[in-house]
Amino acid sequence: MAKDVPHQPMPRLEDAPLLTGRGQFFDDLPVPHGTLYAAILRSPHAHARLRAIHADAARGLAGVHSVLTGEDYAGVAAPLMVGVRLPIECWPIARHKVRYAGEPVAVVLAGDRYIAEDALDLIEVDYDPFAPVLDPVEALDADAPVLHDEMGGNLGSDRQFTYGDPGAAFDDAEHVVDISVRYPRNSCTPIETYGVLAQWEPHGQSFDITANFQGPFSIHPVIARALQVPGNRLRLRTPEDSGGSFGVKQGVFPYIALLAACARLADRPVKWVEDRLEHLTASVSSTNRAITLRAAVRGDGRITALDYDQVEDVGAYLRAPEPATLYRMHGNLCGAYDIANLSVRNRIVMTNKTPTGLNRGFGGPQIYFVLERLMQRIAAELDLDPVEVIRTNLIPTDAFPYRTASGATYDSGDYVRAFEQALKDGRYDALVARRNERRAEGRMYGIGLSVAVEPSVSNMGYLSTVLTPEERARSGPKNGAQSSATVHIDPVGTITVQLDSVPQGQGHKTVAAGIVAERFGLSPGNIKVVAALDTSKDAWSIAAGNYASRFAAASAGAVCIAADRLRDRLAWIAAAQLNVVPDDLRFEGGRIFAAGNPDAALPFARVASAAHWAPATLPELDGSPIRETAIWTAPELSAPNEADEINSSLCHGFIFDFCGVEIDPITHEAHIDRYVSMHDCGTILHEGMVEGQIRGAFAHAIGASLYEEYAYDEDGAFLAGTFADYPVPTVHEIPDLEIYHICTPSPVTPLGAKGVGEGNCMSTPVCVANAVADALRPGCGEVDLVLPLIPARIAGFLQDEPRAPEGQEKRRETGGKGLSGTGQARVDAAPQDIWDLLMDADQLAAIIPGAHGVKRLSPTRFLADVTLGVGPVKGRYRVDVALSDLDEPRSAVLTGKASGALGTGMGEGRVTLTPDDAGGTLIGYAYDASVGGKVASVGGRLLDGAAKIVIGQFFSALGRRAGDPTHRQGIFARLRARLGGAS
Amino acid sequence: MRRLDARQTHVIRFTLNGRAVEAHCSPRMLLSDVLRGELGATGTHVGCEHGVCGACTVRIDGMMARSCLTLAVQVEGATVDTVEGVAPAPGRLSVLQDAFRKHHALQCGFCTAGIVMSLDTLLRDAPDADEARIRDVLSGHLCRCTGYHAIVQAALEAVETLRKETDHA
């Protein structure tokens, strides 16, 4: 079925406008007059009862139009549909309870964004915090905090699958090897954040939305249902350009629902652009997952069965299209290996973290991390060469198309050839020699290998594998993946192509122009391709969008089919005029002519425009030569069957990676010395773009391997709220990459192409981890690795880790916001004088750094209004301090709670006052505190230092006050002193 | 120094890509917001608003600057260059921009504006910049699409092309 593809590498049509600042990204587009700008107030708590929202002050601020809450939303809109039948309600803004730090709590609409953000600071929210649960396995405990009371627990789904006879295979196994891993949360963080412009038209009861949504458009019905309008009353438009997505911009949809409801409530257009803190905290990420994988293995390393136990953490809500991350790989759980017996247990749990969604690799990084770590573990336990273990298990060449145990059809491939060729061309032997040399020098050097099958073009039915066959029978079959493309010829014979793929920089317009130009014998520059999609005007289906690497395999195929049909019709028109048969015609150089008689040629434009100007002169055709929309799905994408077998994706590429990693003995950084990646992505449509996709995925994977994590602390505070806390690799962090290809064209896609954009996100993290494990093996034996492999984690395995300097001991693995410390200060005053100062609200107001006022609520309770700055964040807090264990004038315990627009804090400190020989006092203090909200997210790195400074300021102010006799008298004495001083 | 009232809007005047412009803004407004929102120069993009990603990089009086960390009132009287001013004429590309296109040094193009400004500044200040220097300048930018390799290649080729042009001049 593979057809011609353009051979000329052409420059991208997208580039010139983007390079000169003429892109049409969401925030570059004009807005209607009267547009209001939204800012969103978010929960600083991971889990709390939402008691009251006090927004009068915010509403009173000049320029503020309204402040809307979850209750307002519920007046005009409904919760978001959930993919699995569960008794939970997924609101896009909190009602009654907050379940993750960063969950929307209120929306301010104002004349500009600056004022909207000012108003956020004026909203006060009363929360009753609960204990959160962050860990997916702990969330299954009977006594774990429950997120959704209606569920009675946190388990959203529990399914078991058996394919073949894994029980017998394990019974007969010579060896059983197992491994347990934790895959962390990370995200590809597009540089353009989310943006939504929503308009409501009350007479037509319809919404007009522009958002940098990326699909899948199966989400469109979810939004329409939430907004309680029929599908045709939800016009969803995407801008021509989108600043990266990598899956993540699927997650804008809850905000589409939220902002659309706001536009309806305000009866004004509403625009919102997400800021970076919001994006990192509360957009979407990959799922984190706990997986145990067991293998039944023969003595020669041949695997006869696999047994997966997966606990998937989707965060606080099961939000569409989840639990897709868990099921996307269901057909290819055995990777590139020929394994007939498989058992799987899949559990989905909810925890107090941001709901998850699409992220490049989508399910692949999790699966291959455990599978390829297991392959290395098998080699180690059986004392085999890891290369041999892979070789022994690879699907043999003559087995393609290969049907996997769980029902996928691997459409084409030659894994053995790709594997052997990569070892040879990538000079694997030299890498082994290099490792041996380095090790002989006493250095820590390791080699990692990984093999992955990269699925593309998702079957829209794979998600229904989460349902039992009986449930599926009730809800009706779901399958397929409709791709659409329209090719239009205008009255002067020029061509416009409409895509359904919503690209974010993948060059779809260039590839489509090349395909169409080739078919019509025109120059690609003459083809206009439109990427902006409008659900009211363009052809689309639920599979539309830019995900699952579907463009090359599916959308480009639809373009090709539409162009072929039009070309055939034009050939009939030209054949009638030239008196030849259509098959003899050539389309070249803007002309149409018979192969044997190029001189008798018709201008392309004249033939192409004929249907506009003189339709009656045309021969009978099978359709209009003006416009053709092709809608194509592959018949291979069938629904899951009774046995739960599912062809989860249409095509399957192949990747084999190996790399050499050296660990720095001092810093414990993992340095990637060499990295080789072999790909088979079927027919390559554009070499430069394929290389760009591979290098881009590789860069994301390096981040996931070594640097990036959406980390939470035990209270559920989000700790990665800036690009300093979530360190995305720069050019210095990306190592050299050697890329190789073989090509086995896909027999099931129109162009023979397969997806290629996600593979290294799946193969690279585990390849790097295997290399690190190999580097550590001589000194540490087998290690269990958790990504990202930051130096602190690697150091944990090395026994000779140097001790931290005194007073700088590491307390947390990932850095964070729990604080504790002790200290001492000497003050030149007696203990009783200091005690009196500490019990006097007016005195405290002068001593506490940044205090605007202190109120004494009772003899042992104070309320302070304080401005504090940490790193980039400065804000005002209400601090509620209670004193206990009073032992006048020797010691007291202070318990404090702080809250403000920028976050919350809680802490306890003990102060002791000891007289010294010189008439002064030694003040000793010890504190333990924790902070949440924005401060924890963006200032985590700086908190220790900031706390020390603030405490230091407090005691030096205390010392100054206590040492100055005028401050130790009563208020009248002070007044007298002040008046006296002034006179 | 002029003292500005936080509650008032002020007129600021500066040179943007060779043309005199003026904008009304309050003292707290960011240069990025004034360029994009008030002056319609939307080629400069905002990616993080805390000075890490580099997408908003512009040139102020010849120096690279993060427009998201610059108050608009700070550029009063200054010369500001943005990505819109890099090409020699509408419909044409600079040597650097052309090299970007040739090497696929951009995908989504969102971070590109800032990277073009930084490298364009480097090529002016250090026409003989080597790969290490290019990487140093590029390390002030985050690109999520390309993996950077093609950007380095494009910049190296631009250096080479400009060197040849100078030699022939």
Q: Please provide the DSSP assignment of A630-699 as one string.
A: EEE--TT-PPP-TT-----EEEEEEEEEEEEEEE-TTT--EEEEEEEEEEE-BS-S-HHHHHHHHHHHHH
User: B101 and B76, same structural domain?
Assistant: no
C-alpha A429: how far from chain center = 37
How confident is residue A808, by pLDDT bands cut at 50, 70 and 90?
low
User: B102 and B160, same structural domain?
Assistant: yes
How confident is residue A308, by pLDDT bands cut at 50, 70 and 90?
very high
Q: What per-residue string of b and e applies to A796-817 under the rule 16 or more CB within 10 Å gives b? A: ebeeeeeeeeeeeeeeeebbbb
How confident is residue A805, by pLDDT bands cut at 50, 70 and 90?
low
- Does residue B145 form part of some domain? yes
User: B110 and B69, same structural domain?
Assistant: no
Q: Which domains occur in chain A, in start order?
A: 31-130+194-267 (3.90.1170.50), 139-186+285-464+639-795 (3.30.365.10), 482-632 (3.30.365.10), 818-982 (3.30.530.20)
Using CA atoms, how far apart are residues A679 and A414, in angstroms rounded to an integer? Answer: 11
- Does residue B144 form part of some domain? yes
Instruction: To the nearest 10°, report the CA torsion of B57, B59, B65, B67.
Output: -60
Contact list in A for residue B144 (CB cut-off 8 A) is 188-191, 244, 246, 696, 699-700, 728
Contact A681, A440 (CB under 8 A): no
- Does residue B4 form part of some domain? no
Q: Which two tokens stand for residue A641?
A: 């069957």
Angle between helices A386-393 and A364-381 (to 10 degrees): 120
User: B107 and B50, same structural domain?
Assistant: no
Q: What integer pLDDT is reported at residue A816 of this predicted model?
A: 40
User: B74 and B55, same structural domain?
Assistant: yes
Q: What integer pLDDT is reported at residue A807 of this predicted model?
A: 53
User: B58 and B101, same structural domain?
Assistant: no
pLDDT score of A494 more than 70: yes
Distances in Å between the alpha carbon of A957 and those of A821, A825, A893, A952? 19, 11, 20, 9
Q: What integer pLDDT is reported at residue A9 of this predicted model?
A: 65
- Does residue B3 form part of some domain? no
Using CA atoms, how far apart are residues A631 and A513, in angstroms rounded to an integer? Answer: 18
Q: Span A176-205, mean pLDDT?
A: 98
User: B44 and B23, same structural domain?
Assistant: yes
- Does residue B112 form part of some domain? yes
Q: Does A725 touch chain B (CB under 8 A)?
A: no
Q: Does A192 touch chain B (CB under 8 A)?
A: yes
User: B23 and B61, same structural domain?
Assistant: yes
Q: Which of A127-136, B13-22, B159-168 has the lowest mean pLDDT?
A: B159-168
Q: Does A708 touch chain B (CB under 8 A)?
A: no
How confident is residue A982, by pLDDT bands cut at 50, 70 and 90?
very low
Using CA atoms, how far apart are residues A724 and A276, in angstroms rounded to an integer? Answer: 12
pLDDT score of A803 more than 70: no
Which of B41, B108, B142 faces A728 most closely, judged by CB atoms?
B142
User: Which of B52, B85, B118 lies at the terminal end of a domain, its last residue?
Assistant: B85
Largest CA distance in chain B: 56
Instruction: Report chain A's terminal Cα–Cα distance, integer Å.
Output: 100
Per-residue pLDDT tens for A208-252?
999 999 999 999 999 999 999 999 999 999 999 999 999 999 999
Q: B80: which DSSP letter?
A: E
pLDDT score of A593 more than 60: yes
**Residue A78 CB contacts under 8 Å (≥ 6 apart), including other chains:** A225, A226, A227, A228
Contact A130, A70 (CB under 8 A): no
Per-residue pLDDT tens for A41-89?
999 999 999 999 999 999 999 999 999 999 999 999 999 998 788 999 9
Q: Span A508-515, mean pLDDT?
A: 95
How close A834 gets to chain B, by Cα (Å)?
A: 40
Which of A114, A191, A242 faces B47 most closely, judged by CB atoms?
A191
Using CA atoms, how far apart are residues A544 and A218, in angstroms rounded to an integer? Answer: 8
Which long-range contacts does A32-36 make (Cβ < 8 Å, 24+ apart)? A32/A199, A32/A269, A34/A268, A34/A269, A35/A197, A35/A268, A35/A269, A35/A270, A35/A271, A36/A65, A36/A109, A36/A110, A36/A111, A36/A266, A36/A268, A36/A269, A36/A270, A36/A271
Contact list in B for residue A698 (CB cut-off 8 A) is 147
Per-residue pLDDT tens for A753-779?
999 999 999 999 999 999 999 999 999
Which of A11, A723, A731 faces B48 most closely, judged by CB atoms?
A723
Contact A504, A521 (CB under 8 A): no
Per-residue pLDDT tens for A875-913?
788 888 888 899 999 998 988 888 887 788 888 888 899
Contact list in B for residue A12 (CB cut-off 8 A) is 101, 104
Per-residue pLDDT tens for A125-151?
999 999 999 999 999 999 999 999 999
Cβ–Cβ of B26/A723 closer than 8 Å?
A: no
CATH number of the domain bearing residue B101:
1.10.150.120
Domain count, chain B: 2
Cβ–Cβ of B50/A28 closer than 8 Å?
A: no
pLDDT score of A559 more than 60: yes
Cβ–Cβ of A21/B135 closer than 8 Å?
A: no
Q: What integer pLDDT is reported at residue A815 of this predicted model?
A: 35
Q: Span A402-414, mean pLDDT?
A: 98
pLDDT score of A90 more than 90: yes
Angle between helices A219-227 and A253-266 (to 10 degrees): 30
Cβ–Cβ of B109/A241 closer than 8 Å?
A: yes
Q: Does A15 touch chain B (CB under 8 A)?
A: yes
What's the mean per-residue pLDDT of chain A? 92
Per-residue pLDDT tens for B93-135?
999 999 999 999 999 999 999 999 999 999 999 999 999 999 9
- Choose among A858, A826, A824, A829: nearest CA to A841: A858
Q: Does A915 touch chain B (CB under 8 A)?
A: no
User: B99 and B81, same structural domain?
Assistant: no
- Does residue B54 form part of some domain? yes
User: B129 and B99, same structural domain?
Assistant: yes
Which 70-109 residues of chain B touch chain A by CB within 8 A?
A: 82-84, 86-87, 93, 97, 100-102, 104, 106-109
Which of A11, A19, A730 faces B139 most closely, judged by CB atoms?
A730
Q: Does B17 touch chain A (CB under 8 A)?
A: no
CATH number of the domain bearing residue B51:
3.10.20.30
Distances in Å between the alpha carbon of A116 and those of A272, A333, B9? 11, 48, 17
- Choose among A216, A207, A315: nearest CA to A256: A207
Q: Does A407 touch chain B (CB under 8 A)?
A: no
CB atoms closer than 10 angstroms to residue A856:
14
B146 → chain A, closest CA residue: A696
User: Which of B85, B107, B138 lies at the terminal end of a domain, its last residue?
Assistant: B85
Q: Which two tokens stand for residue B121?
A: 């500044």
CB atoms closer than 10 angstroms to residue A957:
18
Angle between helices B149-168 and B131-138 (to 10 degrees): 130
Contact A89, A35 (CB under 8 A): no
- Does residue B160 form part of some domain? yes
User: Which of B85, B113, B143 lies at the terminal end of a domain, its last residue?
Assistant: B85
Domain enclosing residue B157, as ranges? 95-168
User: B37 and B68, same structural domain?
Assistant: yes
CB atoms closer than 10 angstroms to residue A430:
11
Q: What integer pLDDT is reported at residue A981 of this predicted model?
A: 44
How confident is residue B15, by pLDDT bands cut at 50, 70 and 90?
very high
Q: Does A242 touch chain B (CB under 8 A)?
A: yes
Q: What integer pLDDT is reported at residue A945 of this predicted model?
A: 78
User: B81 and B15, same structural domain?
Assistant: yes
Per-residue pLDDT tens for B37-61?
999 999 999 999 999 999 999 999 9
Using CA atoms, how far apart are residues A415 and A391, in angstroms rounded to an integer? Answer: 9
Q: Which of A355-364, A847-856, A955-964 has the lowest mean pLDDT?
A: A955-964
- Tokens 């998702």 correspond to what residue? A458
Using CA atoms, how far apart are residues A25 and A892, in angstroms rounded to an integer? Answer: 58
Contact list in A for residue B44 (CB cut-off 8 A) is 21
Beta strands, E only, A871-979: 873-887, 891-900, 903-915, 921-932
- Does residue B40 form part of some domain? yes
